[in-house]
Amino acid sequence: MKTRLFLSGISLAGMSAFSPTVSAQSNVVLYGIADLGIHYSNGLNASNAPTASNSTTAMSSGINNTSRWGIKGQETLGNDMSALFQLEGGLNIDTGGSAKSDKLFDRIAFVGLKTSAGVLTAGRQATILSDAISPVDPLGMRFASFNPNINVTALSNTAFGTHAFGMQYGTSGYNDNYYRLDNMLKFTSDFGPVTTRVSYSFGEVAGNTSALSTVGAGLSYQQDGLAVSGAYMKLKNSASFSLDAYTLGAAYNFGEFTLKANYGNNKAETAINKETKENIYSGGGNVVIRPGLSLTAAYYRVRRDSTGFTSDGFDRVVAYLEQEMSKRSTLYVELDSTKWNGNAAGTTGTQANKSNGYGVTLGLMHKF
């Protein structure tokens, strides 16, 4: 993200609506991440879902950080005010395709205003749950497609095992994925070490303002190596059934060590007198072995109770050994192990999937 394409020094003398003596200055930045690895797994397929087969070897994109590209910009308007925008799309480096075929900028697409009071943004954005877990997730938001805090706590992929929510809550555009929402207003404000966030997304369903709408609030504190972060969201589906989710976590850094822990919970009304509840516990940390070389490890415990289904879930351990090759490039080894609980492993056809899976990756990540 360090290599930047700047369009700077653009002066609009005399055109400012705020002061005749103020000139606007703008810049635009091109940035991205290219992350690709060779991933070997046993008991898991190339998409990291449980399988009855023994082993799979795949070239996979985004095993450390999600591959992406984006454009962002900001223009100074005067009177301590700036206009800003950001467009960001996911990439599959192994195929050269977009992460979402139906959205060019599936990750971020917003415009906003920044003032001394805070930042107001409008468009497609990550939810407040995502913002809240970012500083306290034990893996540091690595391996988005496999990280239970991203998938289950922040609702990026709630489908696993023998059942799923199976419907859209909020304005994500997808069933069982509500990590990013369309039509969202988000306001973020800092008060010293305290950050507050509130959000609302418009369901845009004719005649029913509640359907597909969402509302959320979050609060975090970061100072002197300590971070505490939490958030709550309520999402509605097209029938105005509710999905309530919250998260609370903490992190502490002392010298070369950082410890993190988080708890997440969600409850979804899936039909009349039917609901699904999920609990997500996580803990882990990072240690700098020597300058440029670090080890990150995390444990996740996910448990689900749903009307009409046997209780299930999984336990997962993930670790990364990372060597910085330069300021932009990192070579890494990833290890993971998953144990499925109850019927979460599911079946492939008539054959039961393996109750345990593990994987190892050798990858390279480059930021620009």
Tens of pLDDT, residues 176-196: 999 999 999 999 999 999 999
Confidence tier at 232 by pLDDT (50, 70, 90): very high
Structure tokens belonging to residue 53: 């087969």
Q: Which of 85-94, 136-145, 263-272, 348-357 comes out lowest in average pLDDT? A: 348-357
List the beta bridge partners of residue 342. Answer: none
83 close to 77: Cβ distance less than 8 angstroms: yes
Q: What is the pLDDT of residues 289-306, one digit of tens each?
A: 999 999 999 999 999 999
- Single-letter amino acid code for the residue at 119: V
Q: What is the pLDDT of residues 123-169, one digit of tens each?
A: 999 999 999 999 999 999 999 999 999 999 999 999 988 888 989 99
Query: pLDDT: is 348 or 73 the higher one?
Result: 73
Confidence tier at 45 by pLDDT (50, 70, 90): very high
List the beta bridge partners of residue 332. Answer: 322, 363
The dihedral built from the CA positions of residue 166, 54, 296 and 35, taken in this order, carries a sign that is negative
Supply the pLDDT for residue 12.
33
Cα gap 200→125, rounded to integer Å: 11
- Residue 241 above 90 pLDDT? yes
Cα gap 328→294, rounded to integer Å: 15
**The CA-based dihedral angle spanning residues 279, 167, 197, 99, taken in that order and rounded to the nearest 10 degrees:** 100
Confidence tier at 109 by pLDDT (50, 70, 90): very high
Cα gap 168→161, rounded to integer Å: 18
The contacts of residue 212 (CB under 8 Å, 6+ apart) are 168, 169, 170, 171, 203, 204, 205, 236, 237, 238
Q: What is the mean pLDDT of the chain?
A: 92
List the beta bridge partners of residue 302. Answer: 280, 314
- Residue 276 above 90 pLDDT? yes
Cα gap 318→300, rounded to integer Å: 9
Structure tokens belonging to residue 177: 């994925």
Cα gap 244→10, rounded to integer Å: 46
- Residue 246 above 90 pLDDT? yes
61 close to 93: Cβ distance less than 8 angstroms: yes
Q: What is the pLDDT of residues 307-322, one digit of tens each?
A: 999 999 999 999 999 9
Supply the pLDDT for residue 3.
41
Confidence tier at 245 by pLDDT (50, 70, 90): very high
Supply the pLDDT for residue 23.
52
343 close to 361: Cβ distance less than 8 angstroms: no
- Residue 93 above 50 pLDDT? yes
Supply the pLDDT for residue 266.
98
Span 258-270, mean pLDDT? 97
Q: Which of 41-45, 52-56, 62-66, 358-362 comes out lowest in average pLDDT? A: 52-56
Cα gap 160→144, rounded to integer Å: 15
- Residue 170 above 60 pLDDT? yes
Cα gap 360→108, rounded to integer Å: 30
Question: By C-alpha distance, which of 30, 46, 4, 151 is closest to 89?
Answer: 30
Could you give the percent of the chain with pLDDT greater than 70?
A: 93
236 close to 169: Cβ distance less than 8 angstroms: yes
Q: What is the pLDDT of residues 2-31, one digit of tens each?
A: 444 333 333 333 333 334 444 567 899 999
Supply the pLDDT for residue 22.
46
- Residue 221 above 70 pLDDT? yes
